[in-house]
């Protein structure tokens, strides 16, 4: 029997995960059955279980994909943010998140992930890890401003946590109210934090 390539396996896993994401967005994590995923993916039960032994594994994989996506966007924005105002960096993050939401319902999945993390300790730990990394990225930009004599009175870590809290509010509004409701957010953060 011929061996399948790692690329084939990765493609199959990605296809199944994309189908699971569509089901989760449509029905929620707990109202989606494995049969829903089999049907959506056009795969047999055995093919799906080969990559995801349980629905919880699919939930964690979907959440991880979402968290990595948002974290990667912030890392890229922060890396290019040296010497720029913090508002433009946060605005870039919000614009990229909105674009990903249009393609992958990122904000809707984020809301489900937050809720699920209350009952799933592994997911809660993964969420905390991502938040810590994102806070560290923002804190490094805040420290630059503090070294330039701005933004005193609070630690860089505290300020980063406050600044980062804009993202959940943005995601909540995007998921529940739609893109038009958040279209002004990037401009507002640019005005709020021009330096």
Give yes or no for a contact between 138 and 163, defined as CB atoms under 8 angstroms apart: yes
CA dist 168 and 162 (Å) reads 11
Residues 70, 130 contacting (CB under 8 angstroms): yes
- Whether the predicted pLDDT of 1 surpasses 70: no
Largest CA distance in the chain: 67
List pLDDT tens digits, range 20-65.
Answer: 999 999 999 999 999 999 999 999 999 999 999 999 999 999 999 9
Q: Which residues contact 76 (CB under 8 A, 6 or more apart)?
A: none
Residue 81 has pLDDT above 80, yes or no: no
Residues 96-128: pLDDT tens digits? Answer: 999 989 988 999 999 999 999 999 998 999 999
Residue 129 corresponds to which tokens in the numbers above? 């890890």
Over pLDDT 90: what percentage of the chain?
Answer: 66
Binning the chain into helix, strand and coil, the percentages to the nearest 5 are 80, 0, 20
In this structure, the number of other CB atoms found within 10 A of the CB of residue 94 comes to 23
pLDDT at 78: 79
Residue among 68, 67, 65, 59 nearest 29 (CA): 59
Compute φ and ψ for 5, nearest 5 degrees.
-75, 160
């Amino acid at each position: 029997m011929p061996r399948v390539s790692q690329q084939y396996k990765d493609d199959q896993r990605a296809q199944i995960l994309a189908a699971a994401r569509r089901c989760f967005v449509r029905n929620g994590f707990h109202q989606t059955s494995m049969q829903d995923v089999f049907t959506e993916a056009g795969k047999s039960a055995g093919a799906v279980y080969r990559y995801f032994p349980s629905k919880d594994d699919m939930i964690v994989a979907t959440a991880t994909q979402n968290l990595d996506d948002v974290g990667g966007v912030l890392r890229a924005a922060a890396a290019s943010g040296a010497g720029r105002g913090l508002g433009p960096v946060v605005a870039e993050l919000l614009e990229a998140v909105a674009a990903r939401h249009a393609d992958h319902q990122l904000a809707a999945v984020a809301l489900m992930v937050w809720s699920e993390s209350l009952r799933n300790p592994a997911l809660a730990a993964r969420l905390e890890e991502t938040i810590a990394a994102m806070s560290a990225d923002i804190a490094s930009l805040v420290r630059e401003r503090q070294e330039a004599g701005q933004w005193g009175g609070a630690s860089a870590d505290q300020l980063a946590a406050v600044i980062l809290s804009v993202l959940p509010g943005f995601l909540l509004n995007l998921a529940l109210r739609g893109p038009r409701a958040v279209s002004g957010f990037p401009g507002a953060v640019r005005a709020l934090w021009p330096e």
